[in-house]
Structure 1
């Protein structure tokens, strides 16, 4: 898989997170509300080939009234870490095309996930800064 395919897999992960918190296609259409990706840090850890089975896990690192700081891990069927994607997501009012707080029904689900994910160790790759290290 090339780099764009890794990114596409993580984009599918964001779609699944949206559905998990209640932002389904129907909700998006009826409420004119969605999530946009503001920033992504993708780390390639091991090569994988197109067609290999993959598993994507999700952890909510932080949130506020409009944003989700999330972390995905891509694994192969043996549980080997292939890539990670740390992302900042923003709730968007589609009528205004502007950031907007999560609707209460969505925030309730976000808070429940946050409570569970507090129990999980923070990934070592989270918060990395890109740059050339100088001695």
Structure 2
């Protein structure tokens, strides 16, 4: 995985369209979250992991930048890149693309590894840490996405 992970194709559903005729902002998060599930599975964090270990992931923070509208029926995919991680957290960046290749939105997140019995933030088991480390080793050589680390502000001239 020397390139960002690419999700399967996802379809913009009719019930996700707002009164302006485009994808409602909440459903960008649904698309990013569905793609994150696919990405996290590459380092072993999936439903089986949750059920067998009692660990899961929670979102601590997620930022979306809207670049270009998508509409009902559009086919889209999401790329996901691991930016950084430690024993309890992972920082990732996602880009939502129309199937024709143009960028629709970006998402940046901080995920937490959580022991569900608490729930509390907890270190990853060694096997999981090793899997995410292998993904990071491949992704750390990728260029840092230009929009990563953005802050919300009104820029003054």
The normalised TM-score by structure 2 is 0.83
Q: Which runs of 5+ in 2 are unaligned?
A: 1-22
Output the CA distance in 1 between the equivalents of 2:40 and 2:56: 8
2:101 corresponds to 1:111: no
2:114 corresponds to 1:72: no
Q: Deviations over 1:83-104 (max 9, x none)?
A: 0000000000001200001111
Shift of 1:112: 0.6
Counterpart position of 2:68: 46
Q: How do 1:1-135 residues align onto structure 2 when only pairs under 5 Å count?
A: 1-135=23-157
Shift of 1:17: 2.2
Q: Deviations over 1:20-72 (max 9, x none)?
A: 21122122012100000000110000001122111111100000110000000
Output the CA distance in 2 between the equivalents of 1:42 and 1:24: 23
Instruction: Give the ranges of 4+ consecutive aligned residues of structure 1 lying more than 4 Å apart after TM superposition.
Output: none
Q: CA RMSD in A?
A: 1.0
Query: Is the CA contact 1:18–1:35 (under 8 Å) kept in the aligned structure 2?
Result: no
Which moves more between the two structures, 94-103 or 13-22? 13-22
Output the CA distance in 2 between the equivalents of 1:134 and 1:76: 32
Counterpart position of 2:12: none
The normalised TM-score by structure 1 is 0.96
